[in-house]
Amino acid sequence: MLPKGLQASHTLVFTFVLGYASSALIPEADVKIDVLQKPFLCHRKTKLGDQLLIHYAGFFENGTMFHSSHKNNNGEAVWFTLGIKETLVGWDRGLREMCAGEKRKLVIPPSLAYGKEGKGKIPPESTLIFEVELLDIRNGPRSHESFQEMDLNDDWKLSRHEVKEYLRREFDKYKVAQNDTQQESMVNDIFKNEDEDEDGYISAREFTYKHDEL
């Protein structure tokens, strides 16, 4: 069950809808980052909004492991979107500027993890330690490249048709069954949130402005 949402490789589609929801809270403590391994070559570093394919293991301060993608996810790596509070704020902070092939150890204070309440098997006020290996980086749904990919007729705005085509391709890619009604209602949600001036199109500005806020 931990961290939630990681199993869903089709998060990409949903983060397009949910990405705007994060609001900034500035806790005092920060994440401690140790680079355990650096790749020989690094042609691109992670930035906010990217999709990261990672293997990770989480430990308590006493060294007990509470979760591992190797053990708890059938050994499969998980996709994670950087910078939108998909899981822990500590991950959003600790996995920036990272290269594919890099390994890091993150020490995350409670305020950037599960806080005063804790969650499930995480006791209140737990400092968490993660070892994270970054396997691959993809452009996230908020990147300029993503916009261009979605803008089929290159007029710098996204029509309902273009957004729906994008959703259809994404769902196909991840083999998620979706009927037309579900897709229509997603498109409606997306336009309700993204089309600020309500002209029936999501402009490049409307699209990327949100990205800056991530």
| Residues of this chain that bind Ca ion (CB under 5 A) | 151, 153, 155, 195, 197, 199, 201, 203
Minimum distance from CB of 50 to Ca ion (Å)? 24
Minimum distance from CB of 194 to Ca ion (Å)? 8
Cα 85 to Cα 107: distance, rounded to the nearest angstrom: 17
Joined together, the tokens standing for residue 174 give: 């991840």
**Comparing C-alpha atoms, which of 99, 78, 97, 106 is closest to residue 11?**
78
Residue number, 166 or 201, with CB nearest to Ca ion = 201
Residue number, 86 or 151, with CB nearest to Ca ion = 151
Minimum distance from CB of 149 to Ca ion (Å)? 11
Residue number, 92 or 195, with CB nearest to Ca ion = 195
Minimum distance from CB of 169 to Ca ion (Å)? 15
Residue number, 103 or 160, with CB nearest to Ca ion = 160
**Comparing C-alpha atoms, which of 15, 7, 17 is closest to residue 81?**
15
Residue number, 189 or 199, with CB nearest to Ca ion = 199
Residue number, 59 or 207, with CB nearest to Ca ion = 207
Minimum distance from CB of 203 to Ca ion (Å)? 5
Minimum distance from CB of 192 to Ca ion (Å)? 12
